[in-house]
């Protein structure tokens, strides 16, 4: 039997500190729900008082699991807040931080806010010039980072007078402006200062959008925005302090920050910080820390289900036949009776995969294929998806586990009003919303704010429709729509979902291209599944397929799949790329890099 070693991490904390006395005083614990909202530092303080000795953060290092309790996390946040005030932080000052997911990242996020500042989490995938621009745009006075990203931050900070210092989480340092985290904490280790009172309508964070459209804007989110969204999420699922959430996605994005940090802290759940995106590390993190709730993005879950099904295909014929039969029974019970029979039928499969502790998987951040949603549920996983944007803190809707509709992103969460404006004959129009989770606006960008916030409504830029039960369906982004010569609207995301069912297509983008006459037609950019191509070559008795043969395979796949569509949706040309599409840190394809509407060079028809 495997032994799990857990030990507390207390390296940051002194045995006594005036700055942390408040956390240990016996006081009444305030309620927290949608009708009784708290600021984010108050949410953490509340859980620290309710569950002081319970693990808040878990970090796996090989076979050992290191933990930080809620009491320790709250004390660390106090010390960071005190150190920032001693350093000279003023209310509403912006403080940036950029690193991999780690305990210090979470502590700094809350510490800045407890000190009265505004958190500015930044993407480690930024280039130095982009990082410099965002530091300047946000007016950040200080940035926290790790040794892994020190070179990037140092280059971006050169000659930047508005940035007064760099705090390095790791012990090495020594460059100008650089202070070690331990030394910075010394400012708040034995000092005692009052923390400023923050109101729900004060700014909590400025989140720069990930840049799938090419231009990053600073989304201003208040404590009310984030607190109300957290409370609304908690009304959907029975989450308790016994749950363990998996924070694998980068926390500087709003979806993982809400689903894998703020929500679990609000109920006193533990958070396992993911070590890497490698399949083995993910499964080890889940099994060794007993993860129960896993928020993630579609690409991640698609890869995981592909891996499970590939392993099944390696089994003997009898095993494969049994799997197919049991899957059919599970599918029938789920479709006809809404029973998740796979919970029992595939229990051993989940155990062998190291995923037996998972009770809820939540997909967000991008559209996911309904086939993937259903397959997870057939295998006994409770798999749901949500919808939202950075500008909405982010969750707007979520599929209820007991009313799953695989193609829908569910009804609105509490507090959200939704309308469809300018619908077409099919009822598809732009989704506009309002509610307490909608952002204040874009930081120092009133022109862009005015484009999306109108009379209290936020115009999402997403196209969709609502059924008679109030469930929302997403057609795609308004800016991605392809308008054919005949005036028909084609939604690329719909076609991409269907093309990805081909075993020979690994990734695909459908975009509009213009011919010599200026007419727009539908063009596909395909990254082929090279492993499937190699298998096909083996079946043909060849060592490998030529480029021409790969093109012919893709051509036939596109023709076969698109033959079921109306003629105006037909893919009229395609091209192959040799590498995966460039993606954001949440694994979304940077579509804007491929949307130039010109005649496709090298297009195959």
DSSP for 489-548 reads: EE-HHHHHHHHTTSTTEEEEEEEEEE-TTS-EEEEEEEEE-HHHHHHHHHHTT-SS--HH
Architecture of the domain defined by 297-478 = 3-Layer(aba) Sandwich (3.40)
Give the residue among 129, 131, 257, 249 at the shortest CA–CA distance from 204.
Answer: 257
Please give the C-alpha separations between residue 38 and each of 31, 43, 199, 510, in angstroms, as whole numbers: 9, 6, 9, 44
Q: What is the pLDDT of residue 174?
A: 60
Give the residue among 101, 163, 178 at the shortest CA–CA distance from 132.
Answer: 163
Residues carrying CATH 3.40.50.980, the chain: 29-282
Q: What is the pLDDT of residue 404?
A: 83
- How many of the other CB atoms lie within 10 Å of CB of 14? 14
Residues carrying CATH 3.30.300.30, the chain: 489-594
Helix (H, G, I), strand (E, B) or coil at 406: coil
Q: What is the pLDDT of residue 19?
A: 42
Distance CA 58, CA 340 (A): 30
Q: Residue 70, Cα to own-chain centre: how many angstroms?
A: 24
Residues carrying CATH 3.40.50.12780, the chain: 297-478
Residues in the chain, how many?
Answer: 605
Q: What separation, in Å, do the N-terminal and C-terminal C-alpha atoms of the chain show?
A: 58
Q: For residues 399, 402, 403 and 408, what is the CA-based torsion angle, rounded to 10 degrees?
A: 30
H/E element, 418:
strand 417-421
Cα Rg of the chain, angstroms: 25
- In CATH, 29-282 is 3.60.21.10: no
Helix (H, G, I), strand (E, B) or coil at 566: coil
Low-confidence ranges of the chain (pLDDT < 70): 1-27, 173-174, 176, 210-215, 485-486, 517-518, 595-605
Q: Could you tell me the fold of the domain covering 489-594?
A: GMP Synthetase; Chain A, domain 3 (3.30.300)
Q: What is the pLDDT of residue 604?
A: 54
Q: What is the pLDDT of residue 192?
A: 86
H/E element, 306:
helix 298-313
Please give the C-alpha separations between residue 249 and each of 128, 169, 213, 259, in angstroms, as whole numbers: 22, 20, 20, 10
Q: What is the pLDDT of residue 24?
A: 43
Q: Produce one character per residue of 93-122: b if its CB has 16 or more CB atoms within 10 Å, e if not.
A: bbbbbbbbbbbbbbbbbbbbbbbbbbbbbb
Q: What is the pLDDT of residue 175?
A: 72
Distance CA 64, CA 582 (A): 35
Q: What is the pLDDT of residue 16?
A: 40
Burial class (CB in 10 A: 0-12, 13-18, 19+), 547: exposed
Q: What is the pLDDT of residue 156?
A: 95
Residue 145 contacts residue 98 (beta carbons within 8 Å):
yes
Q: What is the pLDDT of residue 15?
A: 40
H/E element, 308:
helix 298-313
Residue 594 contacts residue 480 (beta carbons within 8 Å):
no
Helix spans in 51-102 (H): 70-87
Q: What is the pLDDT of residue 595?
A: 67
């Amino acid at each position: 039997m495997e032994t799990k070693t857990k030990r507390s991490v207390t390296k940051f904390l002194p045995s006594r500190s005036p700055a942390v006395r408040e956390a240990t005083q016996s006081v009444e614990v305030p309620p927290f729900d949608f009708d009784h909202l708290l600021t984010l530092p108050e949410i953490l303080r509340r859980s620290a008082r309710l569950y002081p000795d319970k693990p808040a953060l878990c970090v796996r290092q090989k076979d050992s699991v290191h933990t930080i309790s809620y009491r320790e996390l709250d004390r660390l946040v106090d010390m960071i807040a005190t150190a920032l005030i001693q350093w000279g932080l003023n209310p509403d000052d912006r403080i940036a931080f950029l690193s991999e997911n780690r305990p210090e990242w979470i502590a700094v996020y809350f510490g800045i806010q407890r000190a009265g500042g505004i958190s500015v989490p930044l993407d480690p995938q930024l280039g130095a010039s982009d990082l410099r621009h965002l530091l300047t745009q946000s007016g950040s006075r200080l940035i926290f980072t790790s040794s892994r990203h020190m070179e990037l931050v140092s280059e971006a900070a050169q000659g930047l007078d508005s940035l007064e210092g760099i705090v390095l989480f790791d012990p090495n340092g020594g460059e100008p402006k650089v202070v070690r985290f331990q030394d910075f904490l010394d400012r708040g280790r034995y000092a005692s200062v009052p923390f400023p009172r923050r109101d729900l309508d004060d700014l909590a964070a400025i989140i720069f959008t990930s840049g799938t459209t090419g231009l990053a804007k600073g989304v201003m989110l208040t404590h009310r925005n984030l607190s109300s969204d957290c409370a609304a999420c908690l009304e959907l699922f029975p989450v308790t302090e016994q749950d363990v959430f998996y924070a694998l996605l980068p926390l500087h994005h709003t979806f993982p920050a809400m689903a894998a940090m703020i929500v679990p802290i609000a109920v006193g759940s533990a958070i396992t910080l993911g070590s890497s995106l490698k399949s083995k590390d993910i499964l080890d993190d889940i099994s060794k820390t007993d993860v129960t709730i896993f928020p993630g993005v579609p690409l991640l879950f698609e890869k995981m289900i592909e891996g499970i099904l590939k392993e099944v295909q390696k089994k003997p014929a009898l095993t494969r036949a049994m799997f197919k039969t049991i899957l059919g029974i599970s599918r029938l019970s789920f479709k006809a009776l809404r029973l998740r029979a796979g919970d029992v039928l595939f229990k051993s499969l989940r155990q062998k995969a190291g995923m037996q502790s998972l009770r809820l998987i939540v997909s967000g951040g991008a559209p996911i294929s309904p086939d993937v949603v259903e397959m997870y549920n057939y295998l006994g996983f409770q798999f749901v998806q949500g919808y939202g944007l950075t500008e909405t803190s982010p969750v707007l809707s979520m599929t209820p586990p007991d009313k799953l509709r695989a193609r829908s992103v569910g009804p609105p969460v509490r507090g959200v009003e939704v309308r469809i404006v300018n619908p077409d004959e099919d009822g598809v129009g732009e989704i506009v919303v309002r509610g307490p989770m909608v952002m204040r606006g874009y930081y120092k960008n009133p022109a862009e704010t005015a484009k999306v916030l109108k009379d209290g409504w936020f115009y999402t830029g997403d196209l969709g429709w609502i059924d008679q039960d109030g469930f929302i369906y997403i057609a795609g982004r308004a800016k991605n729509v392809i308008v054919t010569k005949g005036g028909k609207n084609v939604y690329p995301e719909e076609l991409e979902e269907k093309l990805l069912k081909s075993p020979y297509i690994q990734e695909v983008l459908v975009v509009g291209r213009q011919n010599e006459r200026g007419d727009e037609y539908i063009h596909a950019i395909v990254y082929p599944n090279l492993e499937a191509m190699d298998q096909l070559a083996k079946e043909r008795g060849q060592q490998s397929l030529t480029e021409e043969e790969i093109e012919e395979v893709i051509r036939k796949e596109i023709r076969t799949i698109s033959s079921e569509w109306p003629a105006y949706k037909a893919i009229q040309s395609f091209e192959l790329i040799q590498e995966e599409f460039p993606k954001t840190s949440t694994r979304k394809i940077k579509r804007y890099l491929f949307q130039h509407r010109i005649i496709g060079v090298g297009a195959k028809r």
